[in-house]
Every structure is written in C-alpha cells, then in structure tokens.
C-alpha cells in the first residue's frame, strides 16, 4: 500500500506541475484578451482568412467590449487553478502536511463550485441559452444608436448570417433590424446574399429593407441553439471528467495526508 501511495504521489506531483503550467497559460490568455487587442486580432487572422481586415478589426472591438466577462473568467479560473496546483506541487514533492491540508481544502472548494456551476448552467433548462440570447439581443441597441460599436455589430451579424451552409438574418428575421439608424443597410444575408469575393477579399453587398422583407430569410435562432447544444454536450463531458478526476485526487490526497501524519 505504501509503495502504491508513493507512486501515486509522484504521479500527482507531475500532473499538478502540468496543471500549473496549463492554467497559468489560460490566465495569461485572459489577460491578453482583456488588455491586448493586437493579440486578439492576430489570433482571429489565423482562423478568418476569408474576412476583410476591417471585419477582423470590428470583431476584435466587439470581443474586447463584450468579451470582458469571458476574459475575466479566464483570468480568475486560470490563476486560481494554477495557485491550487502550485500548493499541490509543494505538498506532494516535499511531503508537507501544511501545504497538503491547504491543497485538499482548496480542491474540495473548487470541486463544489464546479458542480454548482454545472447544475446552474446545464441542469436548469435554458439557462445557457437565455444568457446567450440576452447578449445577442442587446447588440441590436448599437444599430439604433450611433456609437463606436455600430459598425462592429453590423459586421457580427453579417458574419453570423453567412457562417455555415445556410444563410440567416438576425435572431428572428429581418424585423430585428427594423429600428436601425437611417441610412444603415441590412446585413447582406437578410437579402439572401452571401459575401462576394473579389481578388480574394470580401466585398459588401447592398440590402434594402424592401428587398429583405421580400426575401424573408429565417433568423439565426436555430443556428445559435444548435451551436450551444453541441458545445453544451462537450462541456458537460469535460466538466464531469474533471470533477471525477478531482474526486479521485481528493481521496488519494486524504490517504497521503493520513500517512504523512502517521510518520
């Protein structure tokens, strides 16, 4: 038993070292998203080769404005888990009971918080969808007032509308854009138009209200729901796997702590 616990201790020590590096990187990524627009633009450039430079810049602004919550989540979760993993590294490599106790307590608290979040977001019907749709609906306000995110929001709905195999318009259809500022065009997908390519660069197409009404392209509601459903399944699987792993680690740490106390 002592030999098995010794092997488990070394294995967990290296795993915690890896977790420290990985989640510290997540925290740093959150800082870059929050405070470095150039980093976000370079990241988007790699995955959006068919978008124009202006569209990428607009999306960067949108992420910087609305992605604040996401970046803060990366920062808090990344550095919090990194600190917990660091306590684990010290406890396991040094057989230190003090660090071991702190590590067990923090890991238990983290596991409880994760389970609570999983239940809130995924066990309660439509919580995730409600949050996503609330964010998307709030973006229409920038098309009704002339502010720094008006063009950014237009670009967002253009990209969302042409993404995938089927065109879509707004969330519920062209009427989502009825109260736009005078002079603003409807996003091209609302007129059943894709982005045309000239010399490898996307070119904007005009879309008037009358044409959008005649085309009556369906909203992107279904596309958003489908996207959330796919990612929800993935997230639940990852979260459950992480929670089970953490529970096993807690059991092993309790056994090791008991052994160190006896020594």
The SS3 assignment for 207 reads coil
Report the C-alpha gap between 221 and 215 in whole angstroms.
17
Model confidence pLDDT, tens digit, residues 178-230: 888 887 889 889 998 876 433 444 445 688 888 999 999 999 988 888 888 88
Over range 6-10, report the average pLDDT: 82
Cα–Cα distance list, 224 to 7, 74, 217 (Å): 47, 23, 15
Report the C-alpha gap between 123 and 236 in whole angstroms.
10
Model confidence pLDDT, tens digit, residues 49-68: 556 666 666 666 656 555 55
Q: Is 76 left (phi over 0), alpha (psi -120 to 50) or beta?
A: alpha
- Per-residue pLDDT band at 107 (split at 50, 70, 90): confident
Model confidence pLDDT, tens digit, residues 28-46: 888 887 777 677 667 666 6
Report the share of the chain in percent with pLDDT over 90.
9
More confident position, 148 or 116: 116
Give the pLDDT score at 6. 78
CB 151 within 8 A of CB 167: no
Give the pLDDT score at 219. 92
Give the pLDDT score at 56. 63
Q: Give pTM, 2 decimals.
A: 0.56
Whether the pLDDT of residue 169 is over 90: the answer is yes
More confident position, 105 or 162: 105
């Amino acid at each position: 038993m002592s030999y098995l616990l010794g092997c488990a201790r070394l294995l967990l020590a290296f795993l915690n070292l890896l977790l420290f590096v990985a989640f510290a990187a997540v925290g740093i990524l959150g800082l870059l998203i929050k405070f470095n627009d150039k980093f976000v633009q370079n990241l988007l450039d790699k995955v959006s080769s068919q978008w124009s430079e202006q569209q990428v810049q607009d999306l960067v602004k949108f992420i910087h404005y609305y992605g604040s919550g996401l970046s803060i989540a990366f920062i808090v979760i990344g550095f919090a888990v990194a600190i917990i993993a660091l306590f684990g590294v010290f406890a396991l490599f040094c057989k230190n009971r003090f660090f071991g106790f702190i590590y067990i307590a923090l890991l238990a608290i983290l596991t409880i918080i994760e389970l609570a979040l999983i239940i809130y977001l995924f066990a309660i019907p439509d919580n995730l969808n409600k949050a996503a749709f609330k964010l998307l609906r709030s973006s229409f306000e920038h098309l009704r007032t002339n502010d720094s995110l008006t063009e950014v929001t237009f670009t967002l709905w253009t990209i969302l509308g042409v993404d995938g195999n089927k065109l879509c318009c707004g969330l519920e259809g062209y009427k989502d854009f009825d109260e736009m500022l005078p002079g603003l065009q409807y996003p091209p997908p609302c007129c059943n138009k894709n982005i045309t390519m000239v010399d490898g660069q996307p070119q904007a197409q005009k879309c008037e209200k009358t044409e959008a009404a005649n085309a009556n392209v369906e909203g992107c509601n279904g596309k958003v729901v489908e996207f959330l459903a796919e990612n929800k399944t993935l997230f639940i699987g990852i979260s459950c796997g992480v929670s089970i792993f953490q529970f096993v680690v807690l059991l092993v740490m309790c056994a090791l702590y008991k052994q160190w106390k006896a020594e």
